[in-house]
Amino acid sequence: MTADKEPRDLLDAAGVEQALGRLADDIIAAGDTDDLLLVGIRRRGVELAERLAALVAARTGQSVDQGRLDITLYRDDFAQIGSRPLIGTTEIPGDITDRRVVIVDDVLYTGRTIRAALNEIADFGRPARIELCVLVDRGGRELPIQADFVGVESEVPPGSHVEVRVPSEDGELGVRIRSGAERGGAG
Amino acid sequence: MTAAERETAEETPPPAPLGKDLVGLEGLPGDTIRMILDTAEPFKEISERPIKKVPVLRGKTIVNLFFEPSTRTRISFEFAEKRLGADTVNINSVGSSVSKGESLVDTARNLEAMRIDMVVIRHGSSGAARFLADRIPSNVINAGDGRHEHPTQALLDMLTMRDRLGRIEGLRVCIVGDIVHSRVARSNIFGLRALGAEVGVCGPRSLVPVGIEDLGVRVFGHVDEAIEWADVLNVLRLQLERMDAGFIPSLREYNRVFGVTRVRLEQAPREVVVLHPGPMNRGVEIDSDVADGPQSVILPQVTNGVAVRMAVLYLLAGGRPELAEDAKRGSGG
């Protein structure tokens, strides 16, 4: 096949580590970390949040609380999809009211996942502030949502796929882009 | 299809389909039952939130059509429906047009004319849920039909066993009581067998179906034998009217041979977990010491009931127009 259908590396493992280090610095610089709660969106946001929590803790000397969110039940396209996706457990430690919550996800694209996450978090309490941290911002927003902390920005056309790979899910760390054509041109 | 949908579709394998309705567990493969139990897990957490509601069934209308009295099953379904964001209507046979002789199908068709999405039905006749499911395009969930099945009860029983003991496969589960009239027993037998448990039943000979051994079920004539064998006892409510019908000589006699007591459980070679679908006749089929004791998982059963019903509602809701068309043409199985 032609070269442009091969997945293209956007970040290798070292690049992801570096980006996460920068994001941890940015999160610390942007506000108090005493009441910080990092909430990873399932699935790959969870490991990214874990890594960020460890980095922030190493820099500040304080442990950082973490949560995980499965937004399936808050999707806005639920009535349209035929099959029922499997749901993961949502875990939010304690009361989040008046805390600083940073949502962590792998890729920011349409913004619909983040809309769902914001609604879900609101059902757990009223944080003092909610911020958004993503490893990749690929553009293509369909809602007025922007990230506060971005690892890498890369405009990726619709139909192409940004794959963030983390050890717990994929056995390796990295980000790559697959062109839509490789997936049979469907959709 | 948006990119977000494609991502999810690619990442999560589609679960084994449940179809339009949940009428019974008979014939359901073990994988499908496991999928329902696994889906119930994340729904447990929703009932622990400050705001116990997710919007997944927002805009769906569900009718709870109860032709038999029921408190806990109806309330459990209603909590499950409301916590998923659905709108619900309860119809009880007393005081409704049902008591004026309207047929089941006429009642359901009138409801459908008001644009409902799902029906939860409890009915005294075996087969009522299947009959309805084959004739209306809405999803139908059987909340107990005659002596046939009560699938969500068996699912919550199995979820509770799995929570407590970590598995179903290889467990020895004995159902104690009136087996012959019990839809709970039937659904338990089908579900537990599909998941690889060994199943026994224990009850007076008059209340154990002839030939039940052919289903691969062991029969015990005394609760002491059942306790010696089992990891789990699922103790059924003794319908007191059975005594009037001559199936058992007296409540005291029943309690003497089949009552689950603390003294008896202490003789067991291993810890036996005790379930009861409620409502209990304390001092008849189960003693208070047991019902309120450490081996009892009766209240966790109630909590799990809501989660299991949320899972079933979630898995059945919406998105199956092709099946609805079949039902409209009356070609359902």
Confidence tier at B9 by pLDDT (50, 70, 90): very low
Q: Over the stretch B189-221, which tens digit does the pLDDT of each residue have?
A: 999 999 999 999 999 999 999 999 988 899 999
Q: Mapped to the 3 state alphabet, what secondary structure does chain A carry? A: CCHHHCCEEEECHHHHHHHHHHHHHHHHHCCCCCCEEEEEECCHHHHHHHHHHHHHHHHHCCCCEEEEECCHHHCCCCCCCCCCCCCCCCECCCCCCCCEEEEEEEEECCCHHHHHHHHHHHCCCCCCEEEEEEEEECCCCCCCCCCCEEEEECCCCCCCEEEEECHHHHCCCEEEEECHHHHCCCC
The number of C-alpha atoms within 13 Å of B81 and in the hemisphere containing its C-beta is 22
Q: Over the stretch B160-178, which tens digit does the pLDDT of each residue have?
A: 999 999 999 999 999 999 9
Closest CA to B191 of B157, B166, B218: B157
- Show the tokens assigned to B129: 């849920």
Task: Using the structure block, give the residue that is written with the tokens 């407590």.
Answer: B164
What pLDDT score was predicted for residue A155? 95
Q: Over the stretch B103-112, which tens digit does the pLDDT of each residue have?
A: 888 888 888 8
Mean pLDDT, residues B233-242:
88
pLDDT, chain A, mean: 90
B/e letters for B141-169, b = 16+ CB within 10 Å, e = fewer, are bbbbbbbbbbbbbbbbbbbbbbbebeebe
> Closest-CA residue in chain A for B36?
A86
Which residues of chain B lie closer than 8 angstroms to A91, CB-CB? 45
* ipTM reported for the complex, 2 dp: 0.80
What pLDDT score was predicted for residue B12? 46
- Show the tokens assigned to B97: 């047009």
Q: How far is CA A160 from CA A44, A54, A124, in A?
A: 18, 32, 35
Question: Distance (Å) from the C-alpha of residue A131 to the closest C-alpha of chain B?
Answer: 21
> What whole-number distance in Å separates Cα of residue B202 and Cα of residue B190?
17
At B243, the amino acid letter reads M
Looking at chain B, the whole-number percentage of residues with pLDDT higher than 90 is 75
pLDDT at residue B328 is higher than 60: no
> Closest-CA residue in chain A for B322?
A82
Q: How far is CA A114 from CA A75, A91, A106, B209, in A?
A: 10, 17, 11, 56
Q: Do A82 and B15 touch (CB under 8 A)?
A: no
Interface of A with B in 142-181 (CB under 8 A): 142, 158-159, 161
Q: Do A81 and B5 touch (CB under 8 A)?
A: yes
Query: Residue B5 contacts by C-beta under 8 Å, 6 or more apart in sequence?
Result: A77, A81
- Show the tokens assigned to A140: 């293509």
**Hey, of A73, A90, A91, A126, which one would you mutate to test binding to chain B, going by the most B CBs within 10 A of its CB?**
A73
Mean pLDDT, residues B303-307:
98
Q: How many residues does chain A have?
A: 187
Confidence tier at B1 by pLDDT (50, 70, 90): very low
Task: Using the structure block, give the residue that is written with the tokens 């309207």.
Answer: B102
Closest CA to B152 of B122, B172, B177: B122
Confidence tier at B94 by pLDDT (50, 70, 90): low
Q: Do A74 and B320 touch (CB under 8 A)?
A: no
Of A72, A91, A110, nearest to B3 by CB-CB distance is A110
Range name among A29-38, B3-12, B211-220 with the lowest pLDDT average: B3-12
Which residues of chain B lie closer than 8 angstroms to A90, CB-CB? 42, 45
Range name among A45-49, B58-62, B325-329 with the lowest pLDDT average: B325-329
pLDDT, chain B, mean: 88
What pLDDT score was predicted for residue B319? 43
Query: What is the pTM for the complete model shown?
Result: 0.86
* Phi and psi angles of residue B305, each rounded to the nearest 5 degrees, phi first: -60, -40
Q: Over the stretch B261-301, which tens digit does the pLDDT of each residue have?
A: 999 999 999 999 999 999 999 999 999 999 999 999 999 99
> At CB < 8 Å, which residues of chain B contact A?
1-9, 11-15, 17, 35, 38-39, 41-43, 45-46, 49-51, 53-56, 59, 84, 314-315, 318-320
What pLDDT score was predicted for residue A183? 45
Q: Over the stretch B134-165, which tens digit does the pLDDT of each residue have?
A: 999 999 999 999 999 999 999 999 999 999 99
- Show the tokens assigned to B231: 């990891």
Q: Do B38 and A86 touch (CB under 8 A)?
A: yes
Q: Mapped to the 3 state alphabet, what secondary structure does B6-67 carry? A: HHHHHHCCCCCCCCCCECCCCCCCHHHHHHHHHHHHHHHHHCCCCCCCCCCCCCCEEEEEEC
Q: Which residues pair with B202 in a beta bridge?
A: B176, B220
CA angle B77/B79/B83 to nearest 5° reads 120
Angle at which helix B298-316 crosses helix B30-46, to 10 degrees, equals: 110
B/e letters for B303-322, b = 16+ CB within 10 Å, e = fewer, are bbbbbbbbbbbbbbbbebee
- Show the tokens assigned to B4: 């977000």
pLDDT at residue A180 is higher than 50: yes
Of B4, B49, B53, nearest to A109 by CB-CB distance is B4
Of B13, B39, B42, nearest to A90 by CB-CB distance is B42
> What whole-number distance in Å separates Cα of residue B23 and Cα of residue B148?
9
What pLDDT score was predicted for residue B324? 38
> What whole-number distance in Å separates Cα of residue B293 and Cα of residue B100?
46
Q: Do B50 and A123 touch (CB under 8 A)?
A: yes
Answer whether the bond into residue B167 is a cis peptide, omega within 30°. no
Contact A115, A75 (CB under 8 A): no
